[in-house]
Amino acid sequence: MGGLRLLLLPVAWIYQLILIVRHKLFDWQILRPVAFQHPVICVGNLSMGGTGKTPQVEYIIRLLKNNYRIATLSRGYRRKSSGFLLASNEMTYQQIGDEPKQYINKFDDIIVAVDEKRVHGIRKLQELPNPPKIVILDDAFQHRQVKPGINILLTDFHNLYPNDWLFPAGNLRDLSSQARRANVIIVTKTPRVFSPFTKRRLIEIIRPQPGQMLYFSYLDYGRLTPVNNKSKVFIPKTLTTILMFCGIGNPYPFEEHLRDLCSNLIVHDYPDHHVYTENDIKHLEREFEAILGKNKIMVTTEKDAMRLIDSPYFSRLERFPLFYIPIEVKFHENKAKGFDQYLTEYVRKNTSND
């Protein structure tokens, strides 16, 4: 722990006390969570972000959407609107948030909604003329007002929650002891080459409770996907330089993947959910133009692309080859089948035929 974070420990202790009291109110049933008739699956974490919630939610959507009507419900982080909103393709990320924007762009056969009050949001979804059979709560592990049927807790391989500290001394926004409420724990962003030694070490650190399922996943990167018109006609056969920029919680795995695609990687990391300003775009323009040679491109994440497309300054990047790389979650040790069966069996048992 660095010196500054060490100085912030007293603040973290106060925050810890507040969290302990809050959770005790739920544990003692002074505050009561709301349970719903239809399946509710929560995907969340204990940290401030960067654990890979979005690709995990997308994995669950792909698993279930062909057999059930699905809704995702998010807070809509940093959106400029408030209250309950049903997302549409015409809405911008400023209205609904970048993750919901990505869901609605990628899946045309699901409901995407935002509401900072999860109980209210689920009730509004149930009032729809054709309500969803399943609600996936995106980033709601710490919101105990809702009692989900399945709690899925994610933790980043590079920053495991047992080794972290409470904010502001660390990156945890909730007590690490709350991991006991999870039905499933997934260690995300692990290396593709996953040794038995690494697995044993992770099990020793996580120490899952009896009955908890522990999985290990990694990110599978797709092909370069054009963001603008220039990119559709310019994809060099060999890459010399990639100018990478992104605003995500943990860019390290993304950086490592891009290093394998080129001989020279220039990295610009911004804060999570960064809103790109005109100065940001101008800086990227100047830096890209200063790179010698023709075998060069710009690459960002899919989530950043959602924010860029809605930016009033996006047109400035139209003349540059700009791409994003889609990602999907894969499980180690052929464990996807077990995870899939657990979710589908829960949904089958808790879904009516009406």
Q: Are strands 322-325 and 327-331 parallel, antiparallel or unpaired?
A: unpaired
CATH architecture of 3-16+23-68+133-220+331-349: 3-Layer(aba) Sandwich (3.40)
CA dihedral 42, 43, 45, 49 (to 10 degrees): -130
Q: How far is CA 346 from CA 60, 243, 349, in A?
A: 13, 44, 5
pLDDT at residue 319 in the model: 87
Query: Which own/partner pairs from 83-86 qualify as long-range (CB within 8 Å, at least 24 positions apart)?
Result: 83/115, 83/116, 84/113, 84/114, 84/115, 84/120, 84/121, 84/124, 85/113, 85/114, 85/115, 86/111, 86/112, 86/113
pLDDT at 233: 64
Site of tokens 């990639």: 242
Nearest-angstrom CA–CA distance, 207 and 230: 50
Residue 40 bridge partners (DSSP): 135
**Tokens encoding 232:** 């559709």
Sign of the CA dihedral 224, 305, 67, 212?
positive
What sign does the dihedral 203-208-214-220 (CA atoms) show? negative
Q: What is the pLDDT of residue 250?
A: 87
Positions of the chain with pLDDT lower than 50, given as ranges: none
Which residues, 6 or more positions from 253, have their beta carbon under 8 angstroms from its beta carbon? 158, 189, 219
Task: Write out the chain in H/E/C secondary structure.
Answer: CCHHHHHCHHHHHHHHHHHHHHHHHHHCCCCCCECCCCCEEEEEECECCCCCHHHHHHHHHHHHCCCCCEEEEECCCCCCCCCCEECCCCCCHHHHCHHHHHHHHHCCCCEEEECCCHHHHHHHHHCCCCCCCEEEEECCCCCCCECCCEEEEEEECCECHHHCCECCCCCECCCHHHHHHCCEEEEECCCCCCCHHHHHHHHHHHCCCCCCEEEEEEEEECCCEECCHHHHHCCCCCCCEEEEEECCCCCHHHHHHHHCCCCEEEEEECCCCCCCCHHHHHHHHHHHHHCCCCCEEEEEEHHHHHHHHCCCCHHHHCCCCEEEECEEEEEHHHCHHHHHHHHHHHHHHCCCCC
Supply 119's token pair.
């109980």
Domain boundary assignment for the chain: 3-16+23-68+133-220+331-349, 225-325
pLDDT for 81: 94
Give the pLDDT confidence score for residue 235 in this predicted structure: 72
